[in-house]
Amino acid sequence: MTAKTFFAQLCSAGCIALGLAGNATAQSAFSPAVLVNDQVITYYEIEQRALLMTLMNSTGDVRKEAKDALINERLQVAEAEQFGIAPSEEGVLAGISNFGKRVGMDAEDLVKALELEGVSEETLRDFIYSGIAWRGLIQTRYGRNVQVSEAEIDRAIASNSGAGGMNVLLSEIVMATTPETMAQVMGIANQMANITSPTDFEIAAQQFSQSATKENGGKLDWLSITKLPAEIRPAIMALGPNEITAPIQLPNAVALFMMRGKAEASVPSPSYSAIDYAVFRLPGGRTEENVALARGIAGRIDTCDDLFGEAREYPKEYLTRESVAPGKIQRDIALELAKLDDNEVSTLLTQTTTSGQKQLLMVMLCGRTAELSEEVSREQVAAALRNQRLLSFARGYLAQLKADAVIIEK
């Protein structure tokens, strides 16, 4: 697939809906659309950013999202420059290169592909520049202040291992990906990571999530932190009320979690040395027929042993059952197992085989084997605590900049 075709497929519906091509307006393209303090955002810039966001697979009111993003970036860059922070040409080029790698292109091909779809190189450079400037400012202002004590790490590890009996109340957004759509889904996920309102997170979950929880806004029930995959627990435990994780990449999806509550359990939660689970793979992927078939099977079985009777007409490799250490389980399957009690079934996941065949996965939890303790990296926990605090500082900083700014929309 050529770069042009790649972007054209992404934009085919979105750009038409936006009316970005030849849509006459009463305003000149370079007239001020928004004044941010003494800085101008033009209609042209909004249209350009909206087109870029559409190519990144953003949906919804992309013009409003583009305008809001540009307002934020004007404030962020101006503040960064007040502190003498201005990304170098080399830094911007490196940022463009990294951005291109997400869609399998080098920097030159990325710029050409965007220009063919109507996005100027300047628009891309401004986008990259503002992100680098803001991250540099946050690190400069708050990096030294984000100190994580050994006691805090100990408490996080205690909760993470179950020694503290910690339960968490989370909301989730889970979006399926393919190698071709990973970069675009990550673009959407990065925007969602800036949500600050539980209501907005619920709306986003209902619109974007492909998890079974989407209908109730992504809300999960209380669960023990030890049921979650070990590698994502530090990020979860670092969250404060209504804070959201950075996007978490799974083998076939991207996930975000919002913290709705934490509570000490009445008894310590066990860690697990092994998880016994079964996966039944239905050929054809997430079709209406397969979903109905999976629900029918789930309604007829009581235990994992019953699955073998249901699978007798399929090749043996379509049904697997294993009991392995939690860290050996594929991360997206591990997340689904975390939500299940013994003998419960999830039908959320799909996968594509090496030969290109799509499959719907029925994931069933057969049981968990408890252990007394689990090794957790102190460095991983400390990094998660620091990153989450920097994110909180950044959100608060931007909110204050907006509160102090004079923003006039034309």
What is the CATH code of the structural domain delimited by 272-371?
3.10.50
Given a contact cutoff of 8 angstroms between Cβ atoms, the answer to whether 260 and 309 are in contact is no
Dist CA 346 CA 337 (whole Å): 8
Residue 27 DSSP class: S
What rounded mean pLDDT belongs to the chain?
A: 81
Given a contact cutoff of 8 angstroms between Cβ atoms, the answer to whether 326 and 334 are in contact is yes
Phi, psi (degrees; rounded to nearest 5) at 263: -155, 140
Which conformational region is residue 195 in: left (phi greater than 0), alpha (psi within -120 to 50 degrees), or beta?
beta
What is the CATH code of the structural domain delimited by 3-143?
1.10.4030.10
Q: What is the pLDDT of residue 58?
A: 61
Q: Tokens at residue 164, please?
A: 């503290």
Beta strands of 284-343 (E only): which ranges?
319-324
The arithmetic mean of pLDDT across residues 73-96, rounded, is 93
Dist CA 56 CA 11 (whole Å): 9
Strands 350-352 and 407-409: unpaired
Dist CA 253 CA 350 (whole Å): 9
Question: What percent of the chain is predicted at pLDDT more than 70?
Answer: 85
Worst-scoring range by mean pLDDT, 17-31, 63-77, 254-268, 278-292?
17-31
Q: How many CB atoms lie within 10 A of CB 106?
A: 12
Q: 17 or 353: whose pLDDT is higher?
A: 353
Residues 6+ apart with CB under 8 A from 72: 398, 402
Angle, CA 30 vertex, CA 26 and CA 31 arms, to 5°: 60
Domain span(s) for CATH 3.10.50.40 in the chain: 150-269
**pTM for the structure as a whole:** 0.49
Which conformational region is residue 280 in: left (phi greater than 0), alpha (psi within -120 to 50 degrees), or beta?
beta
Dist CA 165 CA 161 (whole Å): 8
Domain span(s) for CATH 1.10.4030.10 in the chain: 3-143
> Which residues are registered as beta bridge partners of 365?
277
Q: What is the pLDDT of residue 152?
A: 72
Q: Tokens at residue 22, please?
A: 């030849």
The arithmetic mean of pLDDT across residues 126-137, rounded, is 93
Dist CA 377 CA 385 (whole Å): 13
Given a contact cutoff of 8 angstroms between Cβ atoms, the answer to whether 184 and 104 are in contact is no
Fold category of 150-269 in CATH: Chitinase A; domain 3 (3.10.50)
Q: 277 or 328: whose pLDDT is higher?
A: 277
pLDDT in tens, 334-392: 888 888 888 899 888 888 877 778 888 999 999 887 654 444 567 777 777 788 788 87
Distances (CA, A) of 202 to 122, 172, 255, 339: 35, 9, 14, 19
DSSP per residue over 64-89, as a string? HHHHHHHHHHHHHHHHHHHTT----H
pLDDT for residue 132 is more than 50: yes
The arithmetic mean of pLDDT across residues 135-164, rounded, is 73
Q: Tokens at residue 42, please?
A: 């033009």
Distances (CA, A) of 391 to 74, 185, 285: 19, 21, 37
The letter for the amino acid at 35 is: L
Residues 6+ apart with CB under 8 A from 215: 206
Given a contact cutoff of 8 angstroms between Cβ atoms, the answer to whether 231 and 325 are in contact is no
